[in-house]
Structure 1
Amino acid sequence: MSDNENPVPPSPEQSAAPSRGLDGNEAVNLAAEQSKKTAHRNIPGLGFEELPLADDTANLRQGPSLHDGLLALLPLVGVWSGSGQANDNGEEYAFGQHLVVSHDGENYLRFESRTWRLDSEGNPAGADQREVGFWRISLKDEIEVTLTNSRGLVEIMYGEPVNERAWQLESASTIVTATGPASHGPGKRLYGLMPNNNLGWVDERVVDGELVPYMSAELKRVAG
């Protein structure tokens, strides 16, 4: 597939706005501007009346209020969908992605990604990966992320905001199960809102001592 058919999204870091502090009102206003067409949509609740906990929400207008400690991550909350490119140890392929970033009022974000392969015409061609985890951030803007991948990977990443619209992460520990990928080095990720308010992300991995592109995608907000 040619580069023109499935372009790699621009770097979120290059597209992000200049860094400055956000107070609560500014953060909410920014999110509202980015989601005018999707503000009425949300993920469904579990519906278990006996559960004494709030349902997850991917919509800042519905459900529990976002924890004050998460303001620096607020723009990530929502449901995102789009496509990207992967290069897994020389195997190049296009993929679709559905990403849900939600919260339940506590001081963490829930992160859940599903990807599927696309054929040369952009049609779904079977499941690829699932990844679930949690994002936390300290009062000093130190981001902590824990991720579990359906291929048999567990990863801890640390990072920091680049500015109010972009966040960078770096592997601190990557564990592969006995049946997991034979080769999956540590890496770096960058997530960021682009000028069109889509969410772009890039994942690079160490191969033979050098960071090389692994996966990247551009996702459009569809809910929240």
Structure 2
Amino acid sequence: MLEPAQENPYPDTHVLGEGPEPHPQLRPVLALIGRWHGRGSGEYPTLEHGFRYEQEVTFSHDGRPFLRYESRAWLIDEAGTALRPSGREVGWWRVLPDASLEVVLAHPTGIVETYVGRARGSEFEMATRTVSLTPRAKEVTGMRRRYTLEGGELVVVQEMEAMGQPMRHHLMARLAFRKA
């Protein structure tokens, strides 16, 4: 017979001051911990039209030297009405003692990206080291991301190299910090 389920003694938290103490190596990324929400726009040469979206990003930790990352987005019309789900990704941001970053992100569309980058004050930049694709995934060969804390907002900019196109702008969003 199975024992009754025990509550997780090591939960993630996205609220500083609650849950486990952040690992000292997280100092360069502490300001990211939390839930962020806002709007953005996207474009790419292989798309007929640009698009608008809403996005929620959560950075949390469990006391070890990495962040858990989750992003969900949905397309919106010009009035801000939700149209349908869009991009979604989950992963881990590992923070090394020299403030360099190693990031792994997985998408439900069959794409897994590994990034290397650096935390520099209020800016976090990274570029793909590898992109792995399932047999039916869209061809993506490279990505660059920049997360910048600017006036109480998290500005997220992504460039993409995909489907025979060179690296170029793809997404930009401005996200505001959401209290728990």
Q: TM-score, normalised by structure 1?
A: 0.73
Is this contact kept in 2: 1:157–1:172, CA < 8 A? yes
Q: Which residue is equivalent to 2:145?
A: 189
Q: Which residue is equivalent to 1:199?
A: 154
Normalized per residue, which structure has more helix? Answer: 1
Q: CA deviation at 1:209?
A: 5.9
Structure 2 CA distance for aligned equivalents of residues 61 and 157 of structure 1: 29
**1:102–1:214 CA distance, 2 compared to 1 (3 A):** same
Give the AA of the match of 1:131.
E
Q: CA deviation at 1:92?
A: 1.5
Structure 1 CA distance for aligned equivalents of residues 9 and 66 of structure 2: 15
Q: Which residue is equivalent to 1:18?
A: none
Residue 64 of structure 2 corresponds to residue 106 of structure 1: yes
Q: CA deviation at 1:160?
A: 0.7
Is this contact kept in 1: 2:32–2:59, CA < 8 A? yes
Give the AA of the match of 2:40.
G
Give the AA of the match of 2:153.
N
Structure 2 CA distance for aligned equivalents of residues 97 and 198 of structure 1: 13
SS of corresponding position for 1:210: coil
Structure 1 CA distance for aligned equivalents of residues 179 and 104 of structure 2: 24
Identity of aligned residues (%): 28
Give the AA of the match of 2:123.
A
Structure 1 CA distance for aligned equivalents of residues 141 and 170 of structure 2: 10
Is this contact kept in 1: 2:125–2:147, CA < 8 A? yes
Q: CA deviation at 1:215?
A: 1.1
Moved over 6 A (4+): none
Structure 2 CA distance for aligned equivalents of residues 78 and 140 of structure 1: 23
Q: Indicate the RMSD between aligned Cα atoms, in angstroms.
A: 1.7
- 1:79 maps to which of 31, 35, 44: 35
- 2:9 maps to which of 53, 56, 71: 53
Count of aligned residue pairs for this structure pair: 174
Q: Which residue is equivalent to 1:147?
A: 105
Q: CA deviation at 1:86?
A: 1.4
SS of corresponding position for 1:185: strand
SS of corresponding position for 1:139: coil
Normalized per residue, which structure has more strand? Answer: 2
Is this contact kept in 1: 2:144–2:160, CA < 8 A? yes
Give the AA of the match of 1:125.
L
Provide Cα deviations, 1:90-125, integer angstroms capped at 9, x if missing partner. 242111001110001111100000000011222100
Structure 1 CA distance for aligned equivalents of residues 63 and 5 of structure 2: 18
Q: TM-score, normalised by structure 2?
A: 0.90
Q: Which residue is equivalent to 2:129?
A: 172
Alignment of structure 1 residues 1-224 onto 2, 5 Å: 50-88=6-44, 89-90=46-47, 91-161=49-119, 163-181=120-138, 183-194=139-150, 196-206=151-161, 208=164, 210-223=166-179
**1:209–1:128 CA distance, 2 compared to 1 (3 A):** closer
